[in-house]
Amino acid sequence: MRIILIILSLIIPLFIVANVHAQERAEAADVNVSATIESPVSKDESYSNLNTTEVLADPVNNPILLTVYLLDSNKKPVSGREVLVTSNRGNVDIIEATSKISQFQIQAAEVSAMQKDRTDNEGKVSFRITSFIPGKAILQILADNVVKLEEQTVLFKPLPFPTNLTLSVAVPFSQKEWTIFSPRLQEGNLSSLQKETKLLSNTGTKIKLNFWAVFLAFALIIFSPFFILLNFINVRKLRLMENEQSLLLKKMFPPNYNRQS
């Protein structure tokens, strides 16, 4: 009995010590350690530029190229750092990282993913900026999640009036419309992101014409050649009649008629 008590007296303290160490390790595992790592990107040395600041609000033919250069305090390129570009007008302006502009990547990526990219070995990253909506856009540039670079301002100018004009005719006795004229954008040259934005933009001017006025104008255009031909025939007939009348008068009253009388 004494031997059992001695063994228990030795085991129980060891068990308690082991429990304490296990609890200490568990508590240590639950501790979250956070640290702020300073970015190597220098706000003063890094910069961005635009190939132009004013274009038409036409994504197919008038894109703007924004290029961002990330440098450290020694003016050396900083590669592999993320750059995010946003617009104060939201998704109205289409921002696409040039390295991601491909059919597969655009279909697979979200809008936010297209607006950010990582710098190359030269510390450079480029973005294509387009829009269907005229107006001024302010581009915010965030480098390495913490460094805000100088903002860039671009102006999207309105397209010429006929480019945005859509003419339609309301069909009488029904709720349907016939489109007479509509500007056709080169849809094949648009990226998936641009196509989605175009559907939400609702740009352009739509004019609804009176059906009977359009019908009358269309009928005049269609039948005008017949009217011209008919008028030509009538004029020719009048000239022939004038010639016949002139010959008849000459027969009835020859030049020497007065002398003989």
Residue 18 has pLDDT above 70, yes or no: no
What is the rounded average pLDDT for all residues in the chain?
78
Residue 101 has pLDDT above 90, yes or no: no
Q: Which of 119, 136, 159 is the endpoint of a domain?
A: 159
| Region of poorest pLDDT, from 7-11, 119-123, 124-128, 176-180 | 7-11
User: What pLDDT sits at residue 28?
Assistant: 47
Mean pLDDT, to the nearest integer, of 124-151? Answer: 95
The gap between the terminal CA atoms of the chain, to the nearest Å, is 183
Total structural domains in the chain? 2
Q: What is the CATH number of the domain that holds 58?
A: 2.60.40.10
Q: Do 234 and 144 lie in a common domain? A: no
Q: Do 152 and 236 lie in a common domain? A: no
User: What pLDDT sits at residue 228?
Assistant: 86
Q: Which of 159, 187, 203 is the endpoint of a domain?
A: 159
- CA 64 to CA 97: how far, in whole Å? 12
Q: Do 59 and 128 lie in a common domain? A: yes
User: What pLDDT sits at residue 196?
Assistant: 73
Give domain status of residue 51, yes or no. yes
- CA 211 to CA 124: how far, in whole Å? 57
Task: Name which of 74, 64, 133 is nearest 96 in CA terms.
Answer: 64
Where does the pLDDT of residue 121 fall: very low under 50, low under 70, confident under 90, or very high at 90 and above? very high
Query: 141-197: per-residue pLDDT in tens?
Result: 999 999 999 999 999 998 876 666 676 777 777 777 777 666 655 555 677 777 777
User: What pLDDT sits at residue 95?
Assistant: 94
Give domain status of residue 24, yes or no. no
Give domain status of residue 110, yes or no. yes
Give domain status of residue 22, yes or no. no
Residue 252 has pLDDT above 90, yes or no: no
Task: Name which of 97, 89, 99, 105 is nearest 57 in CA terms.
Answer: 89
Mean pLDDT, to the nearest integer, of 18-25? Answer: 56
Domain that holds residue 241: 213-256
Q: Do 59 and 154 lie in a common domain? A: yes
Residue 107 has pLDDT above 60, yes or no: no
Tell me the β-bridge partners of 96. Answer: 128
Q: Do 57 and 137 lie in a common domain? A: yes
pTM over 0.75: no
Q: Do 221 and 154 lie in a common domain? A: no
User: What pLDDT sits at residue 183?
Assistant: 62
Q: Do 136 and 220 lie in a common domain? A: no
Give domain status of residue 165, yes or no. no
Mean pLDDT, to the nearest integer, of 244-257? Answer: 71
Give domain status of residue 31, yes or no. no
Give domain status of residue 131, yes or no. yes
Where does the pLDDT of residue 131 fall: very low under 50, low under 70, confident under 90, or very high at 90 and above? very high
Q: Which of 114, 134, 159 is the endpoint of a domain?
A: 159
Q: Do 241 and 153 lie in a common domain? A: no
At CB < 8 A and 24+ separation, what contacts does 150-154 make?
A: 150/47, 150/48, 152/48, 152/50, 152/66, 153/53, 154/50, 154/53, 154/54, 154/55, 154/64, 154/129
**HSE-CB for 246 with a 13 A CA cutoff:** 6
User: What pLDDT sits at residue 75?
Assistant: 94
Residue 54 has pLDDT above 50, yes or no: yes
Give domain status of residue 38, yes or no. no
